[in-house]
Amino acid sequence: MAVTVELTRFRTVPGRTGDMLAARPAMVADFRADRAGFLGARLVRLADDEWLDIVEWRSAEDFAASRAKGANRPGIAAFFATIAELAGDEQGVRVDGGEEGR
């Protein structure tokens, strides 16, 4: 199974990093409840208060369907509200086999 990986780099609204981290669990819970094909997400802090969100989807179609829904649930909307700007947005396919590939 080819897993689609969404890579989103972003910066938070100044002073809202704590709000973003507090909103994260509800966003992930909303994705699990509302987004077919959502497999999981990891958040990485980069330099200069930039973040990398790594989200895995069962397929490119599931990822596209999720994008079409936007911030349709409160937890997702609260998380998105803390984002000041996107610094990058890419999509790829995982090739290492996941956990067993480490």
Query: What confidence category does residue 2 fall into, taking pLDDT thresholds of 50, 70 and 90?
Result: confident
Using DSSP, state whether 94 is helix, strand or coil: coil
51 with 44: CB under 8 angstroms?
A: yes
4 residue type, one letter: T
Q: 50: how many CB neighbours lie within 10 A of its CB?
A: 15
Query: Could you tell me if residue 19 is inside a domain?
Result: yes
CATH of the domain at 62: 3.30.70.100
In which domain, by residue range, is 68 found? 4-93
The per-residue DSSP string of 8-74 comes to: EEEEEPTT-HHHHHHHHHHHHHHHHHH-TTEEEEEEEE-STTEEEEEEEES-HHHHHHHHHH-S-SH
Query: Could you tell me if residue 62 is inside a domain?
Result: yes
Residue 75 parent element (H or E) = helix 74-80
pTM to 2 decimal places: 0.90
> What are the two backbone dihedrals, phi and then psi, of residue 82, each rounded to the nearest 5 degrees?
-90, -5
Q: Convert the pLDDT of each residue in 24-54 to its tens digit.
A: 999 999 999 999 999 999 999 999 889 999 9
Number of domains making up the chain: 1
Q: Convert the pLDDT of each residue in 50-70 to its tens digit.
A: 999 999 999 999 999 999 999
